[in-house]
């Protein structure tokens, strides 16, 4: 290996074959850790195994490069570890999406910096391969950083939820891409000052990430976060290519693949193509309303006078088979504990209770599962959409908590609306439906929900889900 | 391109494929912890940051040249430790459940 030699005292010297064997073993640990993540029972162990492998990797690196005596490194590591621990212990479950987005961005920043050093030949060779991948590492790392910060800000509600568009948005995005591409290729042919190349690259990549993230709306966040997650892995892998570091490449590649897979799953669950998201065709950009087709779905009745319906409390007490559908509204109202309480009341009266989780309910993949797990709901009661969707027709009662687009029957019929073709939970097939939503306004996608107009079998409890649930539980 | 660089590209392709296949098995129930765990792993770039910073401390201007590396070490360590710890916190909630209501 041709690497800038370190004029440091080597405490240990690892031979290359031994080093690479250990690197292989550590990668194996990580893969095994991920394998354990596929089962709930072993998932925690899997995560700990990955963490353990990571700690060993740090130790191995310090030894292999003979930098054990550089004491400043330990101080920096300690500072980072402390901040990380504080974040991890203080964060509320509801804040998980923004924390993950933030951490993601930090990973991207680190990769960009490593790429910057590599470009200057610090820790890397200065051949054209290394130089080009170093610039790509800066590019992807920096755009992950700014993109994730914006996403995190939106999730934390510091920034507006709505897509923010500047004039000629796509044109600006295109311009940044063009400039970045130019500055990756150009230094190979023309001698440019390092400072110029690095600063143009950084600024353009930061700008790209910002422009990209700022126009993504709230409900598209699950896709955006997954994509940024993937990018942070790719950034790590590319910076690994630049400095010739095997572990960065292998583990970065795994993370990149994972994020990509999640992105695909999210896209499929929203019936969107990744390209649409990348090009910024956000769901809200098309302002089509479902009114044209509402009638086709639900036969409208002329009178506005509500038909006299069965008492919800009675229905609730009689129900033998109940499916609960949580959505982002449950998360913002922090109503998961009340939902659990409601489920417990049902269980106590001998009712079968299942939770139906739409893949994009909430703001990140698996968001609802984490919140319900926090409220101590048994994970065996959490069902994926495909598992439970055929059972709505035979269930006695569906209880919707702050979900809208994912239960909107317009998705099946209302062609031309943003949600058309998106797989939905078949709540409308259930004879009785309770809806604990904030109001009757269309959901994020802007398509009216014909369920709200159904005259029988739909009981609306409008307001903050925490309040409406509480008063309902009090009535029982 | 050196042999090492070729090997690295091969490893990149291979690990991407293996990762994809493995992660395919993870149920959507665990997608959030999976994502935060992956997030922690993306902090692997800390290895690069450590080496680069250590080298930079030997440059003519050690403070200036290693300051960014120091930032990289800190933020990637936040990423790693925060990511793993928060994943553990979430997974702990999932595994406690079995006996909670029987």
In a domain, B55, yes or no: yes
- How far apart CA A191 and CA A188 sit, in angstroms, is 7
- How far apart CA A35 and CA B20 sit, in angstroms, is 11
Residue B44 has its nearest CB partner, among A41, A127, A252, at: A252
pLDDT of residue A301: 43
pLDDT at B56 over 80: yes
B3 vs A contacts (CB less than 8 Å): none
What SS3 state is found at A396? coil
Contact in structure between A453 and A294 (CB atoms under 8 Å):
yes
Residue B26 has its nearest CB partner, among A38, A107, A236, at: A38
Tell me the per-residue pLDDT of A176-219, one tens digit each, with 9 for 90 and over.
Answer: 999 999 999 988 888 889 999 999 999 999 999 999 999 887 77
CA dihedral A229, A233, A236, A238 (to 10 degrees): -120
Q: What angle do CA A458, A461, A465 make, to 5 degrees?
A: 130
The residues spanned by each domain of chain A are: 16-278, 292-475
- How far apart CA B42 and CA A230 sit, in angstroms, is 9
In a domain, B47, yes or no: yes
What SS3 state is found at A397? strand
Range of the domain at B66: 29-99
A84 vs B contacts (CB less than 8 Å): 77-83, 85
pLDDT of residue A450: 87
Contact in structure between A351 and A321 (CB atoms under 8 Å):
yes
B72 vs A contacts (CB less than 8 Å): 109-110, 113-114
Residue A84 has its nearest CB partner, among B78, B90, B94, at: B78
pLDDT of residue A298: 41
ipTM score of complex: 0.91
What SS3 state is found at A357? strand
- How far apart CA A110 and CA B77 sit, in angstroms, is 9
Tell me the per-residue pLDDT of A137-146, one tens digit each, with 9 for 90 and over.
Answer: 999 999 999 9
Q: Which two tokens stand for residue A361?
A: 């309910």
Q: Which two tokens stand for residue A418?
A: 């943003």
The Cα of A358 is separated from the nearest Cα of chain B by a number of Å equal to 10
pLDDT of residue A430: 93
- How far apart CA A178 and CA A200 sit, in angstroms, is 12
Give a three-class secondary structure readout of chain B.
CCHHHHHHHHHHHHHHHHHHHHHCCCCHHHHHHHHHHHHHHHHHHHHHHHHHHHHHCCCCCHHHHHHHHHHHHHHHHHHHHHHHHHHHHHHHHHHCHHHCCC
Q: For domain A292-475, give the CATH number.
A: 3.40.50.1220
C-alpha closest to that of A395 among A357, A433, A365, A362: A433
The Cα of A301 is separated from the nearest Cα of chain B by a number of Å equal to 40
pTM to 2 decimal places = 0.86
Question: Using CB atoms within 10 A of its CB, is residue B76 exposed (0-12), middle (13-18) or buried (19+)?
Answer: buried
C-alpha closest to that of A231 among A330, A153, A141: A141
CA distances from A137 to A140, B17, B78 (A): 5, 21, 20
B93 close to A (CB below 8 A): yes
Q: Which two tokens stand for residue B65?
A: 């040249």
Verify whether the Cβ–Cβ distance B94 to A379 is below 8 Å: yes
Verify whether the Cβ–Cβ distance B47 to A247 is below 8 Å: yes
B83: phi then psi, degrees, rounded to nearest 5: -60, -50
In a domain, B13, yes or no: no
DSSP A4: P
Residue A106 has its nearest CB partner, among B25, B66, B75, at: B75
Q: Which two tokens stand for residue A271?
A: 């019936």
DSSP string across A428-441:
GGSSEEEEE-S-SS
pLDDT of residue B95: 61
Q: Which two tokens stand for residue A229?
A: 């997650």
In a domain, B78, yes or no: yes
A34 vs B contacts (CB less than 8 Å): 19, 22-23, 26, 37
Verify whether the Cβ–Cβ distance A370 to B84 is below 8 Å: no
B60 close to A (CB below 8 A): no
**pLDDT under 50 in chain A at which residues?**
1-12, 283-304
Mean pLDDT of chain A: 86
DSSP A244: T
In a domain, B51, yes or no: yes
Verify whether the Cβ–Cβ distance A43 to B101 is below 8 Å: no
C-alpha closest to that of A119 among A203, A201, A189, A230: A201
B35 close to A (CB below 8 A): yes
Number of domains in chain B: 1
- How far apart CA B71 and CA B69 sit, in angstroms, is 5
Q: Which two tokens stand for residue A366?
A: 């698996």
C-alpha closest to that of B3 among A442, A145, A1, A415: A1
DSSP string across A224-236:
HHHHHHHHHHHHH
The Cα of B62 is separated from the nearest Cα of chain A by a number of Å equal to 12
**Which residues of A have a catalytic role annotated?**
405
pLDDT of residue A270: 83
pLDDT at B72 over 60: yes
């Amino acid at each position: 290996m041709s690497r800038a030699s370190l004029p440091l005292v080597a405490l240990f010297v690892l031979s290359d074959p031994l080093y690479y064997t250990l690197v292989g073993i550590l990668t194996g640990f990580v893969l095994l850790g991920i394998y354990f993540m596929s089962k709930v029972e072993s998932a925690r162990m899997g995560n700990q195994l990955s963490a353990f492998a990571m700690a060993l990797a740090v130790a191995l690196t310090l030894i292999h490069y003979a930098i054990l005596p550089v004491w400043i490194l330990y101080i920096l590591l300690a500072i980072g570890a402390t901040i990380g621990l504080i974040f991890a212990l203080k964060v509320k479950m509801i804040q998980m999406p923004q924390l993950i987005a933030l951490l993601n961005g930090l990973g991207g920043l680190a990769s960009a910096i490593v790429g910057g050093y590599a470009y200057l030949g610090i820790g890397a060779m200065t051949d054209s391969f290394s130089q080009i991948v170093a610039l790509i590492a800066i590019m992807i790392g920096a755009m992950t950083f700014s993109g994730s910060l914006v996403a995190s800000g939106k999730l934390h509600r510091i920034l507006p939820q709505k897509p923010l568009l500047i004039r000629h948005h796509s044109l600006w995005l295109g311009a940044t891409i063009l400039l970045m591409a130019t500055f990756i290729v150009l230094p190979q042919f023309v001698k440019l000052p390092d400072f110029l190349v690095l600063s143009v690259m950084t600024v353009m990549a930061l700008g790209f990430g910002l422009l990209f993230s700022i126009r993504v709306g709230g409900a598209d966040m699950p896709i955006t976060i997954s994509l940024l997650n993937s990018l942070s892995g790719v950034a790590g892998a590319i910076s690994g290519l630049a400095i010739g570091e095997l572990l960065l490449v292998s583990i970065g590649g795994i993370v990149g693949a994972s994020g990509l897979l999640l992105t695909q799953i999210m896209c499929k669950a929203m019936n969107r193509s990744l390209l649409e998201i990348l090009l910024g065709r956000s769901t809200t950009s098309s302002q089509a309303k479902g009114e044209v087709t509402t009638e086709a779905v639900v036969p409208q009745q002329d009178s506005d006078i509500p038909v006299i319906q069965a008492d919800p409390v009675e229905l609730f007490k009689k129900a033998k088979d109940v499916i609960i559908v949580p959505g982002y509204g449950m998360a913002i109202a922090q109503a998961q504990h009340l939902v659990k309480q409601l489920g417990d009341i049902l269980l106590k009266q001998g009712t079968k209770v299942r939770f139906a989780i739409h893949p994009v309910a909430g703001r990140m993949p698996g968001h609802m599962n984490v919140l319900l797990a926090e409220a101590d709901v048994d994970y065996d009661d959490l069902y994926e959409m495909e598992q439970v969707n055929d059972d709505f027709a035979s269930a006695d009662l569906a209880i919707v908590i702050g979900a809208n687009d994912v239960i909107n029957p317009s998705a099946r019929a209302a062609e031309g609306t943003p949600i058309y073709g998106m797989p939905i939970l078949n709540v409308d097939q259930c004879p009785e439906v309770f809806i604990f939503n904030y109001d009757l306004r269309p959901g994020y996608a802007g398509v009216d929900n014909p369920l709200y107009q159904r005259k029988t079998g739909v009981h609306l409890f409008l307001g903050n889900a925490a309040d409406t649930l509480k008063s309902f539980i009090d009535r029982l | 391109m050196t042999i090492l660089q070729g090997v690295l590209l091969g490893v990149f392709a291979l690990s991407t494929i293996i990762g994809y296949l493995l992660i395919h098995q993870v149920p959507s129930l665990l997608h959030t912890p999976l994502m935060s765990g992956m997030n922690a792993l993306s902090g692997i770039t800390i290895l690069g940051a450590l080496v680069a910073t250590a080298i930079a401390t030997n440059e003519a201007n050690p403070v200036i040249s290693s300051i960014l590396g120091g930032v990289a070490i800190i933020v990637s360590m936040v990423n790693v430790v925060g990511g793993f710890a928060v994943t553990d916190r979430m997974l702990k909630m999932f595994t406690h459940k079995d006996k909670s209501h029987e």
